[in-house]
């Protein structure tokens, strides 16, 4: 197996599906000849032509609206939003139209498309290129929300998303686009949506993370191990639907839970995991559930490193729940 970065794995997934299924089409700003601002789609227009890899105007509502029409007429569109921060002009298309077609048609129509968007901080992108907006879409029934944390997962999850009959928002942690390289299976390779992954076994505390925060969480777990604390690390992978069984089973074993997200804390996705554990795993808890998150401020440029959760902040949370 070749060792790929996350960017390369995503490109491999798109190429694999476009070769397998001629209904798969890509559209977005600068994704064609330029290959996308992060080069995920580099070389795809050359192979598949401008009718399947379509450069669009800078109009997110138009990109998503066009993709919805394509999906309803039998195609499998994969629109790209250049940065997740720019998705808001298409918000009404996504939550009012895309998410509701199957329900409002009584199951007669599905709208299978995947909206790809890089999200999060860590690249000095400033306030308009660093946001984490996953919670807005997790709150919308009818959508699936996926966040990979490694190259192999990125490929397997993206192919599964493209093949899904329901719409998927596929948020890519750009901070680790090229920071990680690992072996990625060649050819047809899928990972089921809604299935978490135990990245590290442990017995004293459960750490739940997704996207770029997985690396910080693993580092904190290693540091805790040096102090004699056994931390289990769960990569959520899919935020909606999420893996209830894996989350509850982990906390049943460890008795402690820490959820890590880089989005602001209030109303963030971590609150959903915390509420689920309070409802379904209260009898197992030996300490309060703790969230380690970004702060409730607009994303800062000069203070980016202070804003983003790191191994130190996660380690402090581990110490808190262990010593409770």
* 173-199 tens-digit pLDDT: 999 999 999 999 999 999 999 999 999
**Is residue 143 located within the same domain as residue 258?**
no
Q: State how many domains the chain has.
A: 2
Q: Are 271 and 242 in contact (CB under 8 A)?
A: no
Q: Are 208 and 177 in contact (CB under 8 A)?
A: no
Q: Which residues are bridge partners to 11 per DSSP?
A: none
**82 lies in which domain range?**
2-184
Q: Give residue-wise pLDDT tens across range 120-146.
A: 999 888 889 999 999 999 999 999 999
**Is residue 126 located within the same domain as residue 239?**
no
In a domain, 154, yes or no: yes
Last residue in a domain, options 184, 211, 234: 184
Write the CB contacts of 149 (distance below 8 Å, at least 6 apart in sequence): 173, 176, 209, 210, 211, 212, 213, 214, 215, 235, 237
Q: Give residue-wise pLDDT tens across range 5-34.
A: 999 999 999 999 999 999 999 999 999 999
**Cα 186 to Cα 63: distance, rounded to the nearest angstrom:** 30
What is the structure's pLDDT at 73?
95
**Is residue 207 located within the same domain as residue 306?**
yes
Q: Are 263 and 269 in contact (CB under 8 A)?
A: yes
Last residue in a domain, options 157, 184, 211: 184
Q: Is 238 exposed, middle or buried (0-12, 13-18, 19+ CB in 10 A)?
A: buried
**Cα 235 to Cα 163: distance, rounded to the nearest angstrom:** 22
**Is residue 123 located within the same domain as residue 158?**
yes
**Is residue 179 located within the same domain as residue 204?**
no
Please state, for a pLDDT cut of 90, what percent of the chain lies above it.
96
In a domain, 292, yes or no: yes
Question: Is residue 166 pLDDT above 90, yes or no?
Answer: yes
**Cα 141 to Cα 315: distance, rounded to the nearest angstrom:** 34
Query: Please, how many CA atoms are within 13 Å of residue 4, restricted to the half-sphere of its CB?
Result: 20
What CATH number is attached to the domain comprising 259? 3.40.50.920
Q: Give residue-wise pLDDT tens across range 42-53.
A: 999 999 999 999
Burial 136-156 (b: 16+ CB within 10 A, else e): bbbebebbbbbbbbbbbbbbb
- Tell me the three state secondary structure of residue 76: strand
What is the structure's pLDDT at 83?
95
What is the structure's pLDDT at 1?
82
- Tell me the three state secondary structure of residue 56: coil
Residue 175 is classified by DSSP as G
- Cite the active site residues: 129
Could you tell me which of 122, 115, 51, 50 has the C-alpha nearest to residue 81?
Answer: 115
**Is residue 208 located within the same domain as residue 173?**
no
What CATH number is attached to the domain comprising 7? 3.40.50.970
**Is residue 44 located within the same domain as residue 174?**
yes
- What is the DSSP code string of 107-173? TS-----EEEEEE-SSSS--TTS----HHHHHTSTT-EEE---SHHHHHHHHHHHHH-SS-EEEEEE
**Is residue 244 located within the same domain as residue 296?**
yes
Q: Give residue-wise pLDDT tens across range 304-315.
A: 999 999 999 999
Q: Which residue has the tokens 């050819």?
A: 187
**Cα 109 to Cα 103: distance, rounded to the nearest angstrom:** 9
Q: Give residue-wise pLDDT tens across range 253-292.
A: 999 999 999 999 999 999 999 999 999 999 999 999 999 9
Q: Give residue-wise pLDDT tens across range 195-225.
A: 999 999 999 999 999 999 999 999 999 999 9
The distance from CA 74 to its chain's CA centroid, rounded to whole angstroms, is 26
């Amino acid at each position: 197996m070749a060792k790929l970065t996350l960017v390369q794995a995503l490109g491999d997934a798109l190429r694999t599906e476009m070769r397998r299924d001629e209904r798969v089409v890509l559209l977005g700003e600068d994704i064609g000849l330029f290959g996308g601002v992060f080069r995920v789609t580099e070389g795809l227009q050359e192979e598949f032509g401008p009718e399947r890899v379509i450069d669009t105007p800078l109009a997110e509502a138009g990109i998503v609206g066009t993709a919805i029409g394509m999906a309803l007429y039998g195609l499998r569109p994969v629109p790209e939003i250049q940065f997740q921060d720019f998705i808001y002009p298409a918000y009404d298309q996504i939550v009012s139209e895309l998410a509701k077609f199957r329900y409002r048609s009584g199951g007669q129509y599905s709208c299978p498309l995947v909206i790809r968007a890089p999200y999060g901080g860590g690249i000095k992108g400033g306030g308009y290129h660093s946001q984490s907006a996953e919670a807005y879409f997790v709150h919308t029934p009818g959508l699936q929300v996926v966040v990979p944390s490694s190259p192999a997962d990125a490929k397997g999850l993206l192919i599964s998303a493209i093949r899904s009959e329901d719409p998927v928002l596929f948020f890519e942690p750009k901070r680790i686009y090229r920071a990680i390289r690992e072996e990625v299976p060649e050819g047809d390779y899928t990972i089921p949506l809604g299935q978490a992954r135990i990245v590290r076994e442990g017995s004293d505390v459960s750490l739940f993370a997704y996207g770029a925060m997985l690396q910080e969480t693993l580092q904190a777990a290693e540091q805790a191990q040096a102090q004699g604390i056994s931390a289990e690390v769960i990569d959520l992978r899919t935020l909606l639907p999420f893996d209830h069984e894996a989350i509850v089973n982990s906390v049943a074993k460890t008795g402690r839970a820490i959820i890590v997200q880089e989005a602001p804390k209030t109303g963030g996705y971590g609150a959903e995991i915390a509420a689920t554990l309070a409802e379904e795993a209260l009898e197992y808890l030996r300490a309060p559930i703790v969230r380690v998150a970004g702060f409730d401020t607009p994303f800062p440029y000069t203070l980016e490193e202070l804003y983003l959760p790191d191994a130190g902040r996660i380690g402090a949370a581990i110490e808190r729940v262990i010593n409770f």
